[in-house]
Structure 1
Amino acid sequence: MNSTAATVIAEPVVTRVGDVCFDALRQLLDRGGLRLHAVADGAAIPGSFWGEPEAGIIGTDVYARADTPVHSLLHEACHLLVLPPERRALVHTDATDSVAEEDATCYLQIVLAEAIPGVGSLQLMHDMDAWGYTYRLGSTRAWFEQDAEDARAWLLQRGLLDANGRATI
């Protein structure tokens, strides 16, 4: 008997938007001048660069479903937060302009995770590793703690972090 079995690759177990308080996420983004929109289960996510279940961005709007990873929502939101307001308005799906902005985005999403009940920076870094983020030191935490001084300086220079490394939004 000849049968072919399909290989199913399961998505990594990470913290999803549906696992946390949506209002806490909405309030966090609101502090940065962004609007969070809940997308119905199974519906297409507007402005999603990587496709579902990844978050999407259009202008100052961030879109996510319950199955969207929190790290994805924060990452896309932080892409907008690192941009000057006049550039945010022009964003549709892809906001990265440089490696420096990408690094700043990754750093800021880790810092902002502390403001989300039930998540925190350590969990977010674990989720980023599980999802496949890669850094030359081997893990998100090693990058954040030992190799991200340029991203931190970039955020400090633009007033997105205070001298203690806390987000100013």
Structure 2
Amino acid sequence: MVAIAIAPTRAIPSMLTLADIGFDAPRALLASHGLSLVEIPDGEAIPGSFWGEVEAGLIGSDVFARSDTPVHSLLHEAGHLIVMPPERRAAVHTDATDSVAEEDATCYLQILLAERLPGVGSARLMADMDEWGYTFRLGSARAWFENDAEDARAFLVQKNLLPR
């Protein structure tokens, strides 16, 4: 299968952050999955951040973020917690990846979750994923999501996170 990288329809000046959309809608979205969004004051280190700097962190069922945290980062870390079994979730600290299959499912889920946040949507999130540097064998998050993510979707269906 040959995929063509699809560029966003408009230029994206910078990645969408929580400062752009606020904490209320993401907090409600995470709560619907049994997670808590913990707001960290600007300038303070983000606990449980694998990548450091502005990237979201996770410890147990808590996702940590500041106003300068990219939305894609918040949704990615939340996605990890959503797809993992409860016993692993309780013990997780910083590094959530268990397998390539789980990582792929997390990427797929974060794209779906973006649709549930006002002012975000999957197209914007995928463009931000590309800008950040996620790599997909088809060249872009959109190409992967639309043409090469069957395994990720099947993983989520098997975990009862998506309809069959």
Q: Please report the TM-score for the alignment, with normalisation by the length of structure 1.
A: 0.88
> 1:123-167 CA deviation, whole Å, 9 max, x = no partner?
00000001111101000000000000000000001101123xxxx
CA-CA distance at 1:52 after TM superposition: 1.3
Partner of 2:29: 28
CA-CA distance at 1:57 after TM superposition: 0.1
> 1:88-119 CA deviation, whole Å, 9 max, x = no partner?
00000001010000000000000000000000
Q: Report 1:29-108 matches (<5 A).
A: 29-108=30-109
Aligned residue type for 1:17: L
Higher gyration radius (CA): 1
CA distance in 1, matches of 2:159, 2:26: 23
Aligned residue type for 1:78: G
CA distance in 2, matches of 1:48, 1:144: 25
CA distance in 2, matches of 1:34, 1:57: 10
Structure 1 residues not aligned, in runs of 5+: 1-11, 164-169
> 1:47-97 CA deviation, whole Å, 9 max, x = no partner?
000001000000000000000000000000101100111110000000101
Q: Please report the TM-score for the alignment, with normalisation by the length of structure 2.
A: 0.91
Query: Moved runs in structure 1, 4+ residues, more than 3 A?
Result: none
Identical aligned residues as a percent: 71
> Helix, strand or coil for the counterpart of 1:154?
helix
Partner of 1:137: 138
The root-mean-square deviation of aligned C-alpha atoms, in Å, is 0.8
Partner of 1:19: 20
CA-CA distance at 1:21 after TM superposition: 2.8
